[in-house]
């Protein structure tokens, strides 16, 4: 992972004040996704992290987690599993409610998406308070995979989301604010 290149990527992320609510400084990674060089740098860094870990499934959290998650799954030769909002998946699902910075939400996964033989990376674009990812982790954990890794492109350290995860879980951010 090239730290200098990731520092350049960090500069591409747009800050949007008062979105989605007053007082929140939203880190908009769509500016990173539309920049081919930045996207390639992030893709390469993610793949480098998980290349030798035996990953069989990448779970992407709706919606921006689908972007990096799909890239990661493709590059690792793993399957991709979408984690979605209620009512979006067509087969039988299991779900988890959670609290986030500005409300309560629910996520769902197909009940047959993960097996005990899987090594899973759960991916999202940004770690804020950790509520969404913690719910995703707890949901995937109920499916008893061999191992779970947690991956973010960036993190907002000042919000303390990293502290929500148990110490035995490897949580990675490519860069932080």
Q: Which pLDDT tens digit goes with each residue over 6-32? A: 999 999 999 999 998 898 889 999 999
Give tens-digit pLDDT for 29-49.
999 999 999 999 999 999 999
pLDDT at 173 over 90: yes
Strands 170-176 and 147-155: parallel
- Residue 107 is part of which domain span? 54-176
The residues annotated with a catalytic role in the active site are 64, 101
Q: State the pLDDT confidence band at 102, using cuts at 50, 70 and 90.
A: low
Is 137 among the domain residues? yes
Is 23 among the domain residues? no
CATH of the domain at 77: 3.40.50.2020
* pTM, to two decimals: 0.95
Q: What is the mean pLDDT of residues 38-61?
A: 97
């Amino acid at each position: 992972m090239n730290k200098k290149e990731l520092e350049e990527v960090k500069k591409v992320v747009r800050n949007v004040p008062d979105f989605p609510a007053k007082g929140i400084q939203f880190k908009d990674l769509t500016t990173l996704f539309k920049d081919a060089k930045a996207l390639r740098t992030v893709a390469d860094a993610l793949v480098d992290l998980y290349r030798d870990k035996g990953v069989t499934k990448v779970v992407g959290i709706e919606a921006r987690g689908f972007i990096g998650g799909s890239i990661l799954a493709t590059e690792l030769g793993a399957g991709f599993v979408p984690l979605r909002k209620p009512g979006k998946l067509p087969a039988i699902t299991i779900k988890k409610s959670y609290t986030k910075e500005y409300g309560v939400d629910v996520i769902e996964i197909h009940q047959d998406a993960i097996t005990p033989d899987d090594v899973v990376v759960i991916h999202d674009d940004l770690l804020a308070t950790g509520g969404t990812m913690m719910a995703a982790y707890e949901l995937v954990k109920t499916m008893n995979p061999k191992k779970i890794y947690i991956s973010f492109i960036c993190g907002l350290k000042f919000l303390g989301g990293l502290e929500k995860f148990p110490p035995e879980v490897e949580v990675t951010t490519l860069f932080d604010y």
